[in-house]
């Protein structure tokens, strides 16, 4: 079964400079997928932010600045008859 992100704690978050936040996500699949957070950097580009863990990942952004503004992806991967990938996006804006 291709992995699927099944829950994400927020789809959009507005933060002021200096604030912190935590965003969680879970994923299901068979076999159980490895889940990680990436930052989307340009068309088709990703910056890995967390190490893959089974079924769940937590992204922590501390002391945010305007440079933290953008889209983040919760990615679930499983290698079984190929690789599956699911994404859920979070937009972090600094005001």
Residue at token pair 């079964």: 1
58 or 84: which carries more pLDDT confidence?
A: 58
Residue 35 phi/psi, 5-degree rounding, is -120, 140
pLDDT in tens, 14-44: 888 898 999 999 998 888 899 999 988 888 7
The pLDDT score that the predictor gives to residue 81 is 44
CB within 8 Å of 17: residues ≥ 6 apart: 64, 65, 66, 94
Alpha carbon 84 to chain centroid, angstroms = 15
Q: Taking the model in full, what pTM does it have?
A: 0.84
Residue positions counted in the chain: 95
Please say whether the beta carbons of 75 and 88 come within 8 A. no
């Amino acid at each position: 079964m291709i992995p699927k992100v099944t829950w994400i704690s927020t789809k959009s978050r507005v933060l002021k400079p200096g604030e912190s936040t935590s965003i969680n996500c879970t994923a299901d699949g068979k076999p159980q997928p490895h889940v990680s957070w990436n930052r989307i950097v340009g068309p088709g580009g990703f910056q890995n932010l967390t190490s893959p863990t089974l079924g769940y990942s937590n992204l922590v952004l501390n002391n945010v600045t305007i440079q933290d503004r953008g889209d983040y992806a919760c990615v679930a991967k499983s290698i079984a008859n190929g690789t599956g990938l699911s994404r859920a996006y979070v937009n972090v804006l600094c005001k």
